[in-house]
Amino acid sequence: MKSSYRWVIVACGALMTCVGIGAMFSLAVYLQPMSVDTGWSRTGISSAMTLDFLVMGAAGFGWGAASDKFGPRVVVLCGAVLLGLGLLLASRATSLLQFQLTYGVMVGLASGAFFAPMIAAATDWFEDNRSLAVSLVSAGMGVAPMTVSPLARWLISTYDWRTAMMTIGFVAWSLLIPTALLVRRPPAKPAAASSPMPSVPQTSSSAIEAFRSPQFIVLAATFFLCCAAHSGPIFHMVSYAIGCGIAPLAAVSIYSVEGLSGLGGRLLLGLLADRFGAKRVLVAGLLVQAVAIASYLMVDRLAEFYSLAVVFGAAYGGVMPLYAVLARESFGQRVMGTVFGAMTMVSSIGMAFGPWAGGTIFDAFNSYAWLFIGASAVGLGAVGISLVFTARPQMQALRA
């Protein structure tokens, strides 16, 4: 697929993941002013984020299946409308429960409509440079902390949290609805090819067959352990750095360096995967992630934190798009949205597990040491499982 429009699809996907994920993750910016203004507990407000993760994961599966059946445009359009509506209703919430349901459920449901469907759409448009294309769509998630969250913080400082959240909702509508209308499936491929061997294998598989296959089980388990490994250290990094004697403002900047490095890692590992193969790069990235997590136990200076944040961010950010590439190679395009949506659901459970586990460990031991030790061990488990991944026999036969 050489059409230049494929890069429009990539740009649409990057913008959607940036706005959708950015709107959801900006809850951390609202936390303090909301608590002061409403008297709601921070635990209660933060629980909306837990709901976001769980709902987004389950929704990603449903939205992915819907994109296979109806096409990605209708799915992302529904998500765009729902995201703005959820933010507007949440900004008007008068009780904690009302806020949790609107922000935690509606925003999570909307956010799940962008990642898996647009990743699947990108893989459908690309035969060459597929890993790079998927990485660029995923890069929107890395840009989100540097765009939506600062905008929300400025609006809160200028007005108040309700006006800020409502404005972000209108911004989401103005950006995402027109963008959704640009999304479409690629032109139909010619019925017959002149070459005797296809350049890219096209395996057709039903969703049920895919879910029962060793390839899906291995990829989903690896994705789960990967996210469970890095989510705890990411969430608790600022608190850990402060405990090591780093000034609070500087500790926050470590998190920002990780996010920026994750953006670069997506591009770098995407290019490497196109050259050396997605599995090899995934295994190497997971190994670097596990070692980097353990290495945090040996740093206590800001420069050391920054250096390690570059490596850790590039590793965890870079491996994320590669699961979609491997899924596309094993199961083909017809059920790509369903399969990758299911994998995203499993990974979201891992993401939700890490922060809770880190808090529990700190409360029990008054230290984050066992969090990083345990997370590194989980990361090594992801490496071990990823090593046993093999393409489906049909794919090997086509490549022979």
Identify the DSSP state of 4: T
Nearest Cα to Cα of residue 207 among 54, 69, 350: 69
Same domain for 158 and 68: yes
Q: What is the pLDDT of residue 292?
A: 96
- Exposed, middle or buried: residue 189 (CB in 10 Å: 0-12, 13-18, 19+)? exposed
Whether residue 235 is found in the same domain as residue 373: yes
CA–CA dist 354, 49 (Å, integer): 13
Residue 338, φ and ψ in degrees, nearest 5: -65, -45
Average confidence score pLDDT of the chain: 84
Same domain, 303 and 371: yes
Residue 2 confidence class, pLDDT cut points 50, 70, 90: low
CA pair distance 218, 385, nearest whole angstrom: 6
Matching residue, tokens 């046993």? 388
Inter-helix orientation angle 42-70/27-38, to 10°: 140
Q: What is the pTM of this model?
A: 0.72
What is the C-alpha R_g of the chain? 21
Residue 31 lies in a domain: yes
Number of domains in the chain: 2
What is the number of other CB atoms lying within 10 angstroms of the CB of residue 213?
Answer: 16
CA 266/CA 271 separation, integer angstroms: 9
Tell me: do 338 and 240 sit in the same domain.
yes
Please report, for the domain that includes residue 323, its CATH number.
1.20.1250.20
What's the pLDDT score for residue 392? 65
Q: Report if residue 400 sits inside a domain.
A: no
109 and 40 belong to one structural domain: yes
- Are residues 260 and 120 located together in one domain of the fold? no
- pLDDT band for 397, please (50, 70, 90 cuts): very low
The domain boundary, picked from 165, 180, 195, lies at: 180
Residue with tokens 């780093």: 246
Distance of CA 395 to the CA centre of its chain: 27
Q: Which residue, 145, 180, 215, sits at the end of a domain? A: 180
Question: Looking at the domain assignment, is residue 188 inside a domain?
Answer: no
Average pLDDT over residues 147-173: 90
Task: Verify that 239 and 305 share a domain, yes or no.
Answer: yes
**How many separate helices (H) and strands (E) can be counted in the chain?**
19, 0
CA distance 52 to 83: 12
Q: Tell me if 197 is assigned to some domain.
A: no
Residues 230 and 121 in one domain: no
60 and 13 share a domain? yes
- Asked whether residue 189 is assigned to any structural domain, the reply reads no
Same domain membership, residue 288 and residue 147: no
Name the DSSP letter for residue 298.
G
Domain containing residue 103: 5-180
- How far apart are the C-alpha atoms of 358 and 352, rounded to whole Å? 11
200: in domain: no
Give the residue-averaged pLDDT of 154-160. 89
Across residues 275-301, what is the average pLDDT? 94
| DSSP state string for 277-289 | -HHHHHHHHHHHH
Q: Residue 375: what residue type?
A: A
Q: Please list, in sequence order, all residues whose beta carbon lies within 8 angstroms of the beta carbon of residue 10, skipping any fewer than 6 positions away.
A: 122, 125, 133, 136, 137
| pLDDT score of 196 more than 60 | no
Q: 224 and 369: one domain?
A: yes
Task: Please check whether residue 83 lies inside any domain of the structure.
Answer: yes
Residue 204 has pLDDT above 80, yes or no: no
Amino acid at 228: A
Q: What is the pLDDT of residues 328-382, one digit of tens each?
A: 888 877 777 788 888 888 888 888 777 778 877 887 888 889 999 999 999 999 9
Q: Work out the average pLDDT over 199-204.
A: 44
Residue 191: inside a domain: no
- 59 vs 393, which has greater pLDDT? 59
Q: Are residues 34 and 103 located together in one domain of the fold?
A: yes
